[in-house]
Protein backbone atom coordinates (compact mmCIF):
# COMPACT_ATOMS: atom_id res chain seq x y z
CA UNK A 1 0.00 0.00 0.00
CA UNK A 2 1.50 3.31 -0.96
CA UNK A 3 0.12 5.66 1.61
CA UNK A 4 -0.55 3.79 4.82
CA UNK A 5 -2.22 5.23 7.86
CA UNK A 6 0.80 4.12 9.83
CA UNK A 7 2.95 6.52 7.88
CA UNK A 8 0.80 9.45 8.92
CA UNK A 9 2.16 11.51 11.77
CA UNK A 10 1.33 10.33 15.28
CA UNK A 11 -1.47 7.91 14.55
CA UNK A 12 0.83 4.89 14.79
CA UNK A 13 2.29 6.06 18.06
CA UNK A 14 -1.11 6.64 19.56
CA UNK A 15 -2.44 3.36 18.29
CA UNK A 16 0.29 1.07 19.45
CA UNK A 17 1.79 2.50 22.56
CA UNK A 18 0.18 0.32 25.19
CA UNK A 19 2.33 1.89 27.91
CA UNK A 20 0.31 4.21 30.14
CA UNK A 21 1.34 7.84 29.75
CA UNK A 22 0.37 8.72 33.29
CA UNK A 23 2.40 8.20 36.38
CA UNK A 24 0.57 5.47 38.31
CA UNK A 25 -1.11 6.47 41.55
CA UNK A 26 -2.28 4.07 44.22
CA UNK A 27 -5.86 2.90 44.52
CA UNK A 28 -6.02 4.71 47.86
CA UNK A 29 -4.98 8.01 46.30
CA UNK A 30 -7.50 7.57 43.49
CA UNK A 31 -10.33 6.83 45.93
CA UNK A 32 -9.38 9.86 48.03
CA UNK A 33 -9.66 12.03 44.91
CA UNK A 34 -13.22 10.79 44.34
CA UNK A 35 -14.10 11.57 47.95
CA UNK A 36 -12.84 15.14 47.36
CA UNK A 37 -15.02 15.35 44.25
CA UNK A 38 -18.04 14.22 46.26
CA UNK A 39 -17.36 16.99 48.76
CA UNK A 40 -16.93 19.47 45.90
CA UNK A 41 -20.45 18.78 44.59
CA UNK A 42 -21.89 19.28 48.06
CA UNK A 43 -22.09 15.72 49.30
CA UNK A 44 -20.94 14.01 52.47
CA UNK A 45 -18.69 11.12 51.44
CA UNK A 46 -18.95 9.60 54.93
CA UNK A 47 -22.71 9.02 54.79
CA UNK A 48 -23.83 5.42 54.46
CA UNK A 49 -24.82 5.50 50.81
CA UNK A 50 -21.55 7.09 49.71
CA UNK A 51 -18.97 5.48 51.93
CA UNK A 52 -18.20 2.74 49.39
CA UNK A 53 -18.72 4.95 46.34
CA UNK A 54 -15.08 5.97 45.76
CA UNK A 55 -14.05 2.29 45.79
CA UNK A 56 -16.91 1.36 43.46
CA UNK A 57 -16.04 4.18 41.10
CA UNK A 58 -12.38 3.21 40.92
CA UNK A 59 -13.35 -0.42 40.27
CA UNK A 60 -15.61 0.78 37.44
CA UNK A 61 -12.69 2.76 36.02
CA UNK A 62 -10.85 -0.54 35.70
CA UNK A 63 -13.57 -1.60 33.27
CA UNK A 64 -14.13 1.70 31.46
CA UNK A 65 -10.42 2.31 30.87
CA UNK A 66 -9.14 -1.23 30.38
CA UNK A 67 -7.91 -0.35 26.90
CA UNK A 68 -4.76 1.39 28.11
CA UNK A 69 -3.29 -1.94 29.12
CA UNK A 70 -4.26 -3.78 25.94
CA UNK A 71 -2.23 -4.16 22.78
CA UNK A 72 -4.35 -4.19 19.60
CA UNK A 73 -1.64 -5.98 17.63
CA UNK A 74 -1.63 -8.86 20.09
CA UNK A 75 -5.41 -9.17 19.70
CA UNK A 76 -5.08 -9.23 15.91
CA UNK A 77 -2.16 -11.67 15.93
CA UNK A 78 -4.23 -14.82 15.37
CA UNK A 79 -4.93 -15.01 11.65
CA UNK A 80 -6.06 -17.76 9.30
CA UNK A 81 -4.97 -18.45 5.74
CA UNK A 82 -7.41 -21.27 4.91
CA UNK A 83 -10.21 -19.07 3.59
CA UNK A 84 -10.15 -20.77 0.16
CA UNK A 85 -8.95 -17.61 -1.55
CA UNK A 86 -11.89 -15.49 -0.34
CA UNK A 87 -11.06 -11.99 -1.54
CA UNK A 88 -14.29 -10.05 -1.00
CA UNK A 89 -15.10 -7.48 1.64
CA UNK A 90 -15.28 -8.66 5.24
CA UNK A 91 -17.49 -6.37 7.29
CA UNK A 92 -18.49 -6.50 10.94
CA UNK A 93 -21.39 -4.14 11.31
CA UNK A 94 -23.08 -2.57 14.34
CA UNK A 95 -20.34 -3.10 16.91
CA UNK A 96 -21.83 -1.35 19.91
CA UNK A 97 -19.34 0.47 22.11
CA UNK A 98 -19.22 2.81 25.07
CA UNK A 99 -16.34 5.24 25.45
CA UNK A 100 -15.76 8.44 27.40
CA UNK A 101 -14.93 11.75 25.79
CA UNK A 102 -11.65 13.22 26.86
CA UNK A 103 -13.02 16.73 27.26
CA UNK A 104 -15.87 16.15 29.70
CA UNK A 105 -15.46 12.50 30.76
CA UNK A 106 -19.01 12.03 29.46
CA UNK A 107 -20.15 8.84 27.71
CA UNK A 108 -19.89 8.40 23.96
CA UNK A 109 -22.27 5.62 23.00
CA UNK A 110 -22.41 4.32 19.50
CA UNK A 111 -21.73 1.74 16.85
CA UNK A 112 -18.64 1.03 14.81
CA UNK A 113 -18.64 -0.66 11.41
CA UNK A 114 -15.31 -2.21 10.48
CA UNK A 115 -14.39 -3.69 7.09
CA UNK A 116 -11.30 -4.88 5.32
CA UNK A 117 -10.45 -6.44 2.01
CA UNK A 118 -8.11 -9.33 2.79
CA UNK A 119 -4.85 -10.11 1.10
CA UNK A 120 -4.00 -13.69 2.00
CA UNK A 121 -4.93 -13.86 5.69
CA UNK A 122 -8.13 -13.23 7.60
CA UNK A 123 -8.56 -12.55 11.29
CA UNK A 124 -11.08 -14.13 13.68
CA UNK A 125 -14.27 -12.10 13.49
CA UNK A 126 -14.49 -11.38 17.22
CA UNK A 127 -11.07 -9.74 17.09
CA UNK A 128 -12.52 -6.84 15.08
CA UNK A 129 -14.97 -6.19 17.92
CA UNK A 130 -12.18 -6.54 20.49
CA UNK A 131 -10.04 -4.00 18.67
CA UNK A 132 -12.91 -1.51 18.75
CA UNK A 133 -13.06 -1.96 22.52
CA UNK A 134 -9.29 -1.56 23.01
CA UNK A 135 -9.67 1.98 21.74
CA UNK A 136 -13.15 2.65 23.14
CA UNK A 137 -11.88 1.84 26.62
CA UNK A 138 -9.59 4.86 26.62
CA UNK A 139 -10.48 8.55 26.84
CA UNK A 140 -11.34 9.42 23.29
CA UNK A 141 -11.96 11.81 20.49
CA UNK A 142 -14.10 10.06 17.91
CA UNK A 143 -11.85 11.10 15.04
CA UNK A 144 -8.83 9.57 16.76
CA UNK A 145 -10.65 6.37 17.66
CA UNK A 146 -11.68 5.92 14.03
CA UNK A 147 -8.07 6.36 12.88
CA UNK A 148 -6.69 4.05 15.54
CA UNK A 149 -8.99 1.15 14.63
CA UNK A 150 -8.12 1.46 10.94
CA UNK A 151 -4.41 1.81 11.65
CA UNK A 152 -4.33 -1.29 13.83
CA UNK A 153 -6.06 -3.44 11.22
CA UNK A 154 -3.84 -2.11 8.48
CA UNK A 155 -0.70 -2.83 10.49
CA UNK A 156 -1.76 -6.30 11.58
CA UNK A 157 -3.22 -7.70 8.35
CA UNK A 158 -1.71 -5.65 5.52
CA UNK A 159 -5.06 -5.91 3.72
CA UNK A 160 -5.91 -4.39 0.34
CA UNK A 161 -7.98 -1.82 2.16
CA UNK A 162 -9.64 -0.91 5.46
CA UNK A 163 -12.85 1.04 6.07
CA UNK A 164 -14.12 2.15 9.47
CA UNK A 165 -17.27 4.17 10.14
CA UNK A 166 -18.38 5.23 13.61
CA UNK A 167 -21.69 6.78 14.54
CA UNK A 168 -22.36 7.81 18.10
CA UNK A 169 -24.14 10.06 20.52
CA UNK A 170 -21.92 12.26 22.66
CA UNK A 171 -23.51 12.74 26.04
CA UNK A 172 -21.49 15.90 26.56
CA UNK A 173 -23.68 17.34 23.81
CA UNK A 174 -26.97 15.61 24.61
CA UNK A 175 -27.16 15.96 28.42
CA UNK A 176 -25.34 19.27 28.88
CA UNK A 177 -23.71 22.06 26.87
CA UNK A 178 -25.44 22.35 23.52
CA UNK A 179 -28.28 20.02 24.70
CA UNK A 180 -28.95 18.30 21.39
CA UNK A 181 -30.17 14.78 22.24
CA UNK A 182 -30.52 12.56 19.22
CA UNK A 183 -27.83 14.22 17.15
CA UNK A 184 -25.15 11.78 16.11
CA UNK A 185 -21.53 12.23 15.09
CA UNK A 186 -20.39 10.22 12.08
CA UNK A 187 -16.72 9.68 11.22
CA UNK A 188 -15.12 7.44 8.63
CA UNK A 189 -11.65 6.45 7.50
CA UNK A 190 -10.90 4.53 4.32
CA UNK A 191 -7.61 3.22 2.95
CA UNK A 192 -6.37 1.31 -0.08
CA UNK A 193 -9.10 -0.07 -2.32
CA UNK A 194 -11.80 1.71 -0.26
CA UNK A 195 -10.24 5.12 -0.74
CA UNK A 196 -11.01 5.91 -4.38
CA UNK A 197 -14.57 6.18 -5.65
CA UNK A 198 -15.29 2.66 -6.88
CA UNK A 199 -17.04 -0.62 -6.18
CA UNK A 200 -15.43 -1.43 -2.77
CA UNK A 201 -16.17 2.03 -1.40
CA UNK A 202 -19.77 1.92 -2.61
CA UNK A 203 -20.23 -1.62 -1.24
CA UNK A 204 -19.01 -0.52 2.20
CA UNK A 205 -21.09 2.63 2.53
CA UNK A 206 -24.21 0.91 1.13
CA UNK A 207 -23.76 -2.00 3.54
CA UNK A 208 -23.42 0.20 6.62
CA UNK A 209 -26.41 2.30 5.62
CA UNK A 210 -28.57 -0.76 4.99
142 touches ligand GTP (CB under 6 A):
yes
Is 103 among the catalytic positions?
A: yes
The yes-or-no answer on residue 203 being catalytic is: no
Distance separating alpha carbons of residues 92 and 88, to the nearest angstrom: 13
Q: How far from 23 is each of 19, 20, 160, 197, CA to CA, in Å?
A: 11, 8, 39, 45
Contact between 180 and ligand GTP per CB under 6 A: no
Site for Zn ion, residues 89 to 118, rule: CB under 5 A: 101, 103-104, 106
Q: Please report how close the Cβ of residue 156 comes to Zn ion at its closest, in angstroms.
A: 30
φ and ψ at 94, to 5 degrees? 60, 50
| C-beta closer to Zn ion: residue 101 or 145 | 101
Q: CA 205, CA 186: separation in Å to the nearest integer?
A: 12
> How far from each other are the two terminal CA atoms of the chain, in whole angstroms?
29
Given 113, 148, 169, 170, the catalytic residue: 170
Q: Is 66 in the site for Zn ion (CB under 5 A)?
A: no
Catalytic residue among 101, 113, 148, 171: 101
Among residues 172, 185, 201, 203, the one that binds Zn ion under rule CB under 5 A: 172
Q: Which is nearer to ligand GTP, 84 or 178 (CB)?
A: 178
Angle between helical axes of 125-136 and 142-157 (0-180°, round to 10): 140
Residues facing 164 on adjacent strands: 114, 189
CA 114 to chain centre: 11
Per-residue x/- track, 97-126, ligand GTP (CB under 6 A)? ----x-x-----------------------
Q: Which residues are catalytic?
A: 101-104, 142, 170, 172
Amino acid sequence: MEKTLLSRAQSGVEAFDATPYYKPVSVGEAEAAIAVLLRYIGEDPTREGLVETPARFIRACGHHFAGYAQDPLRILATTFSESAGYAGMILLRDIRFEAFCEHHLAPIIGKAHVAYMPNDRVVGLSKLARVVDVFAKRLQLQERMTMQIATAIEAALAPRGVAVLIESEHHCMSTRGAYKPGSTMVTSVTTGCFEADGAPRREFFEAVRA
